[in-house]
Amino acid sequence: MSTVTTAPVLVVEHEADCPPGWLGEWLEAAGAVLDVRRPYTGQALPGDLTTYAGMLVLGGDMGAHDDATHPWLTEVKQLVAGAAQAGTPVLGVCLGHQLAAVALGGEAGRNPLGQQVGVLDVGWLPDAADDELLGALARGGHAPAVQWNDDLVTRLPDGAVPLARTARGELQAARLAATVWGVQWHPEVGEEIIATWAVHDRDAAVERGVDLDAHVAAVAAARADLRATWVQLADAFARVCATTRPVTR
């Protein structure tokens, strides 16, 4: 599907090991023009999103409250808050999901049930079926997703709608505002990206008795299913960015 946007989509990359990956590939194939900013290299973020069709906020190893050591996180949260007010589409992935939730008055922190790693099914909730971004996927049922996180959204902002939870009850996705969505999983990654995460996390995983190589292998085995599933999310987000008209004042 090709959906031409008249303005670029801002992509915020927090570290080199967490690139746009498949989402970037699919968004461009759908007609979106991406403006990828890497503030960890010193690149500046825009002051607002008035010239953008939407924003994609990626994941990273830092926490949603680590503004002191990663000062651009404050700017990202300000951009999300402004986007929610203006009606500009935003999609947050993992850390991006947590940053968006915090920006709108929610809370994020360590998962009390422990780290989530592996290919897990998305546990769609009833409200997801009618959601503009995730509805078609939710109605389709089975959706495998790569999860690799220690933190999650622990309290949703007022008015937010939970769209998916794990079997243990952890939040997996939410509509955080009318045009702001967050997903805790990683629709953008395959085994080539998470293999770098496994190297970074290996020592801690060995202490916990976790075999990260097995998780990387599981992602590789699910590659075709993952790509067939999450290209639909990219197409839907490109469509939302192309058709949503932000409020102007």
DSSP at 124:
B
Q: Is 188 annotated in the active site?
A: yes
Other Cβ atoms closer than 10 A to 162 = 16
| CA–CA distance, 210 with 205 (Å, rounded to integer) | 5
The yes-or-no answer on residue 107 being catalytic is no
Q: Report CA-CA distances (Å) from 117 to 86, 111, 139, 150, 187.
A: 35, 12, 25, 9, 14
SS3 (DSSP) at 39: helix
Active-site hit among 94, 97, 170, 241? 94
Active-site residue flag, 94: yes
Contact indicator for 143, 137 with CB cutoff of 8 Å: yes
CA distance 157 to 171: 13
What is the longest distance spanned by two Cα atoms in the chain? 55
Select which of 188, 191, 215, 241 is catalytic: 188
Pure H helices in the chain: 21-29, 72-86, 95-103, 135-140, 191-208, 212-221, 223-243
**Distances from the Cα of 82 to the Cαs of 23, 87, 129, 218, in angstroms?**
23, 8, 27, 39
Strand order in the sheet with 90-93: 34-37, 9-12, 54-57, 90-93, 180-183, 171-177, 161-165
- The secondary element (H helix, E strand) that includes residue 119 is strand 116-121
Q: Considering 70, 186, 191, 241, which one is annotated as catalytic?
A: 186
Enumerate the active-site residues. Answer: 94, 186, 188
